Amino acid sequence: MAENKKKDKKPIPFRRRLLIWCFNLFLFCIVGIAFYVTVIYFRMPSLDSILNETRTPAIVFLDKNGTEIRSSNKIMGTPVSTETLPPHVWQAIVAIEDKRFFEHGPIDMRGTLRALILNLVRGRFAVGGSSITQQTAKNIFLSRDKKISRKVQELILSYWLENRFDKNQILDLYMNRVSLVGGMRGIDAAARVLFGRAAAELSIAQSAQIAAMLKAPAIYSPYRNPQKNIERARTVLQEMANQGYIDINAAHAAAAELAPATGSPDTNLYRYWTDFVTDELRSQIGTMNTDMFVYTTLDPKIQNKITNAISSYVGNYQGAAVAMTHDGAIRAMIGGTDYKTSQFNRTTAHRQPGSAFKPIVYLVALENGMTPESMVNDSPFTIGDYNPKNYNEHYYGDITLATAFAKSVNSVPLKLASLYGLDSVISMAGRLGVGNKLRREFSTVLGASEMTLLDLTNVYAVIWNAGESVRPYSITRVADVYGNTIYERNPSDSISVLTPNTVEYMTDLLAMVTSPAGTGHRAMAPNVIGGKTGTSNDNRDAWFIGATNDLVLGIWVGNDDYTPMESSVTGGTIPAKIFHDAVK
């Protein structure tokens, strides 16, 4: 009986078996695809964390007038939106990138199908079909890997974006995240770099030129390839007119305004400065976790003038300069002759100040009752094994303190240090802000202990600040991109470091240095109120620190490897000439 039943069982028809096989294969593919998508989904970072990406905060540096001089790190520019921008700015983007953006969902199926057909016909990838939402997803991911997993992530994020945000918000994300110039992101950053204005100030023509870049920023850059940019910008304007965003007359007028972008000026002029300010910024606010605008004390006119003067005189040597107001606002900083060649900031490098240190010794003498007219003796002098000689080994005998200072003799400050004690010299240096950096030995009296140009300039600033303490500063305010204050300088009360009589006598001595008979006579100009030369052993360092009624300016010239310069290079030659040209 069982055998009969077995014989009665008919085989499954081939067509049915094929259908079952196909159905099972379909289920297997669906399950496999679902599993693959699930794996990719869980391998994605948190969507919220992608949206609020963590990156190195951008810093925009501004001068004392609030004008931008440079920006560092990736920056997205000032946030923009369809509500804050003139309509033609975002309309240019929609017109050329996704004209049905406000009508379709996360994916423009019609546009994707059209692009697929055109690419098949042409036999190459010639047309893209990604919607603005998809492009936003790409920009948020910050990855250009052409992998299937990458595309799946893009689709997931596209649907997530459309479910979480409305169309205007997605367009805002796109405009703030798209990368167009030099690693900087957002159309506001592009507008500032290419046209020197905010995105909210873009004309119709400039809006079209930025929209033209979206297809391929390197190829259609108005700076690198202006002709290609202008040609595509005309297409953008035509599309804007076709879609009713502007009329044909406005399109023609804008087309006549299309022009190459001039690009940003070379900001290496300010790189030593912005590096210095960045370090100061960290010391003031600690961790930087947001984009910020840093308002600094820099005066570009002074910076340019000193830079040109250094370039005119240093030749094959290195040069550095610091200029500050009498109360410490740094107006210029030149850390070397060429930032591209060397990023080492020589204004903060420790070098021997030579005779530029001597005013500290003379301040001790003045505090102890001596005057510029007090008589001193310039003759060979030895302390232990230390027996330095005068420049050119010339001695003047009995002279006034003022003459000894103006001619920068060596024996007199050594005798003064011996008379009043080396500790009194170190103490005076401490009151002026550099005492803890000095060696307690008599060679320090003639400038053998290293200090920075910034520190030395600050010492002189105290004298020309009527003896009141000075703390150099470079930052007045820091704000986030919304204008909220993160930091604002709150100056503390100054402390009286020197008595009025001491200051009066010392400023008289410094004035004599720049007189026709002084070592710094080459620095003299109508607005100069005094200065001091300095030259270290074997002419390794040459200094001039001087002042006008508004500024204290320190100049250093030398070689990075400490090799001697020509014997003719002293503080009274190249540095004094640089000072003269910088302040005249």
394, 515: one domain:
yes
251, 309: one domain:
no
382, 500: one domain:
yes
Q: Token pair 């983007």 is at which residue?
A: 93
106, 232: one domain:
yes
CA-to-CA dists, residue 545 to 56, 147, 455, 523, 532, angstroms: 38, 62, 11, 10, 5
483, 384: one domain:
yes
pLDDT the model gives residue 386 = 86
328, 473 Cβ separation under 8 angstroms: yes
pLDDT the model gives residue 269 = 85
As a dihedral over the C-alpha atoms of residue 203, residue 206, residue 207, residue 213, rounded to 10 degrees, the angle is 180
d(CA 97, CA 127): 11
- φ, ψ at 120 (rounded to 5°): -65, -40
Sign of the C-alpha dihedral, residues 210, 211, 214, 219?
negative
- Domain membership flag for residue 234: yes
**541 burial type by CB count under 10 A (0-12 exposed, 13-18 middle, 19+ buried):** buried
pLDDT the model gives residue 539 = 94
- Domain membership flag for residue 176: yes
pLDDT the model gives residue 50 = 53
Task: Provide CB contacts within 8 A for 120, sequence distance 6+.
Answer: none
pLDDT the model gives residue 168 = 93
d(CA 79, CA 173): 9
- Domain membership flag for residue 468: yes
251, 355: one domain:
no
308, 212: one domain:
no
- Domain membership flag for residue 27: no
190, 77 Cβ separation under 8 angstroms: yes
> For the whole prediction, is pTM greater than 0.85?
no
User: Which stretches of the chain drop beneath a pLDDT of 50?
Assistant: 1-2, 5, 125-127, 142
CATH code for the domain in which residue 423 is found = 3.40.710.10
**66 burial type by CB count under 10 A (0-12 exposed, 13-18 middle, 19+ buried):** exposed
pLDDT the model gives residue 232 = 97
- Domain membership flag for residue 329: no
325, 559 Cβ separation under 8 angstroms: no
190, 119: one domain:
yes
543, 456 Cβ separation under 8 angstroms: yes
d(CA 545, CA 472): 15
* HEC readout, 480-516: ECCCCEEEECCCCCCCECCCHHHHHHHHHHHHHHCCC
96, 217: one domain:
yes
235, 383: one domain:
no
Domain boundary among 240, 257, 274: 257
- Domain membership flag for residue 275: no
CATH code for the domain in which residue 145 is found = 1.10.3810.10
d(CA 168, CA 93): 13
Residue 487, H or E segment? strand 485-488
119, 208: one domain:
yes
- Domain membership flag for residue 114: yes
Query: Which residue segment(s) compose the domain that 227 sits in?
Result: 85-257
pLDDT the model gives residue 125 = 45
221, 97: one domain:
yes
- Domain membership flag for residue 76: no
The DSSP string of 241-275 is: HHTTSS-HHHHHHHHHH------PPPGGGGHHHHH
Query: Based on the structure, what is the number of domains in the chain?
Result: 2
Number of Cβ atoms within 10 Å of the Cβ of 261:
21
